[in-house]
Structure 1
Amino acid sequence: MAQAFPKPGLRPFLPADVPVLAAIFAASIEELTGDDYSEAQQQAWMAAAESEEFGKRLAADLTLIATLEGSPVGFASLRGTDHIRMLYVHPAVVGQGIATILLDALEKLAGGRGATSLTVDASDTAESFFAKRGYTAKQRNTVTINGEWLANTTMQKTLGAAQ
């Protein structure tokens, strides 16, 4: 008999989650973004998880944790009512719908908070994921992280009544 994938769960962020979320953040960047960013860019980006600011950003936003069998495997954060600040999934579970579950939840929460649209500054790696879910590119950006220039794209989705 075939084994079914365990059903993902969602829960709110807790301060004790910072170390495991930092590990998910780093693993995601290291293993998934190599086709779009140089090793120096990846290292600069990953270093953001080593600062105290990483946990402060997670706590300041509405951050959701995706779990499988109780263990965190991804996270996403909503800044204010209408901006997705972070969406990261551990490489071991890519393709299992974790990012979609997180994004769907953020869209519902944003709509419940009165947002009519959502924006995200999507990495070049994540741009196609957001495009497949109805986000359209608005502008290209270049940001400096720890001395390295990284490109991303501001994308937007209008939230409909079905949210």
Structure 2
Amino acid sequence: MAEKIALRPALPADAPSLAALFRASIEELAQEDYSEAQIEAWAAVADDEEAFAKKLAGELTIIALLQGEIAGFASLKGADCLDMLYVHPDFARRGVATQLCDALEKLAGARKAASITTDASDCAQPFFAARAYAPQKRNMIFLGDEVLGNTTMTKQLAASKENVQ
């Protein structure tokens, strides 16, 4: 039987926990695809917790709870950009990212988006490819002295007849 994952909107009080989850996710789950220096630069994005909280609050951010603990979070920027999707390493490969992604794709559809786009890290690309996201272009992200690669990927959303009244 699948574990029950609950979703809820992120609250301002969640920011410190989400910053810690962001760091843990990158530090443990990105090791095969990025160097130690790249991982440190990427994880450091959450060091300014006030700026990180402001970013989360400026987007539609949802949290996944598993066994009462925050297992992951994801955010939708505007109507059609999946901006962040992070799962705590303790909850990896348990359906958390799938549930979060399903929810954001539905929300994008409800916002009348024809497609959804994300800049997928090298470690997340297989996950998005399996969900019918197609690679569009390669990007270079400059963080301090480090350069990290990611890939812009887009998925066409099914035209929802439910939205037409």
> Matches of 1:139 and 1:38 in 2, distance apart?
22
Which AA in structure 1 matches 2:128?
Answer: F
Q: In the alignment, which residue of structure 2 is the partner of 1:157? A: 155
Q: In the alignment, which residue of structure 1 is the partner of 2:101? A: 103
Q: In the alignment, which residue of structure 1 is the partner of 2:47? A: 50
Whether the 8 Å contact between 1:82 and 1:117 is mirrored in structure 2 is yes
Whether the 8 Å contact between 2:114 and 2:159 is mirrored in structure 1 is no
Gaps of 5+ in 1: none
Whether the 8 Å contact between 2:65 and 2:72 is mirrored in structure 1 is yes
Q: In the alignment, which residue of structure 2 is the partner of 1:38? A: 35
Which AA in structure 2 matches 1:94?
Answer: A
Which AA in structure 2 matches 1:126?
Answer: A
Q: In the alignment, which residue of structure 2 is the partner of 1:14? A: 11
TM-score of the aligned structures, taking structure 1 as reference length: 0.94
Q: In the alignment, which residue of structure 2 is the partner of 1:73? A: 71
Deviations 1:55-94 (A, max 9, x none): 1110000000000133211000000000011000001111
Deviations 1:94-138 (A, max 9, x none): 111000000000000000011000000000000000000000000
Which AA in structure 2 matches 1:80?
Answer: G
Q: In the alignment, which residue of structure 2 is the partner of 1:29? A: 26
RMSD of aligned alpha carbons? 1.3
- 1:17 match: secondary structure: helix
Whether the 8 Å contact between 1:45 and 1:146 is mirrored in structure 2 is no
Deviations 1:25-55 (A, max 9, x none): 1111011111110000000000011112211
> Matches of 2:41 and 2:113 in 1, distance apart?
32
Count of residue pairs brought into register by the alignment:
160
> Matches of 1:63 and 1:145 in 2, distance apart?
23
Gaps of 5+ in 2: none
TM-score of the aligned structures, taking structure 2 as reference length: 0.93
- 2:24 match: secondary structure: helix
Give 1:145 deviation, angstroms: 1.3
* Aligned with residue 115 of structure 2, among 117, 135, 151: 117
> Matches of 1:123 and 1:49 in 2, distance apart?
17
